[in-house]
A and B are shown apart, each in its own frame.
Chain A
Amino acid sequence: DIVMTQSPDSLAVSLGERATINCKSSQNVLYSSNNKNYLAWHQQKPGQPPKLLISWASTRESGVPDRFSGRGSGTDFTLTISSLQAEDVAVYYCQHYYNTPYAFGQGTKLEI
């Protein structure tokens, strides 16, 4: 089974500053046949269900602000928020969908 590990567990960033969250998979999640990384990022604000932000490691969902970006390939990925806004306070989870069982990272709590 693929294990997902995020770092750091928590992060405090000033408004307007950059926030970077790392995610590492225990196995490659890049499918060679289509050259796509089966990696998503979800955002969970306090008291709310999660929401998909990014799929394929770097494709923002419709309506997601462009200050959110995803990068990486193979086993190492990052989620970057270029200029932190107050509404970005949340827990962020990476998740692989390369095969089952799907798995999530332990989450990174982002605070101001």
Chain B
Amino acid sequence: DVQLVESGGGLVKPGGSLRLSCAASGITVSIAWMNWVRQAPGKGLEWVGHIKSKIDGGAADYAAPVKGRFTISRDDSANTLFLEMNSLKTEDTAVYYCATEDSSGCIDFWGQGVLVTVSS
């Protein structure tokens, strides 16, 4: 069975940085397309970005609100996905979900999520 377990969330001040991790089991992150999706408190889902599989080039793509501030990467040896978040703003406060994507682009499995709070 696929399991995705996010960690690394917490409280950070505006302008600060945080790195989220998503430990995967049941899948191999190097051959999967992996996403980050966030959900602000009481709000809907917002796509943050994804990283292509190694065989497809491994490049990442981002939503406009986070481009230039967030970076998606992975550690193949640890089978873990990361989201490096810099220059954090209060509007980045959300639960961040790690999710897999099938070969067609459909997001097909979600982790449990981790809360990030950006506040002074």
Contact = CB atoms under 8 A, between A and B. Distances in A.
A104 B47 contact: yes
Interface in A74-112: 91, 93, 95, 97-98, 100-107
Contacts of B44: 91, 93, 104-107
Nearest to B65: A101
A72 interface: no
Interface string B33-64: 00100000000111100100000000001011
Interface stretch (B9-17, B24-32, B68-76, B101-109): B101-109
Interface in B96-120: 97, 101-102, 104-113
Q: How large is the interface on B (under 10, 10 to 19, 20 to 34, 35 or more residues)?
A: 20 to 34
Contacts of B113: 49
Interface string A23-56: 0000000000000101010101000011110011
B105 A38 contact: yes
Contacts of B47: 100-104
Contacts of A52: 106-110
B110 A49 contact: yes
Interface in B63-101: 63-64, 97, 101
B81 to A, nearest CB: 15
A49 B104 contact: no
Nearest to A59: B106
Interface of A: 1, 36, 38, 40, 42, 44, 49-52, 55-56, 61, 91, 93, 95, 97-98, 100-107
Given A50-B97, A50-B110, 10 more contacts: A36-B104, A38-B104, A40-B106, A49-B110, A52-B110, A55-B108, A101-B64, A104-B44, A104-B46, A104-B47
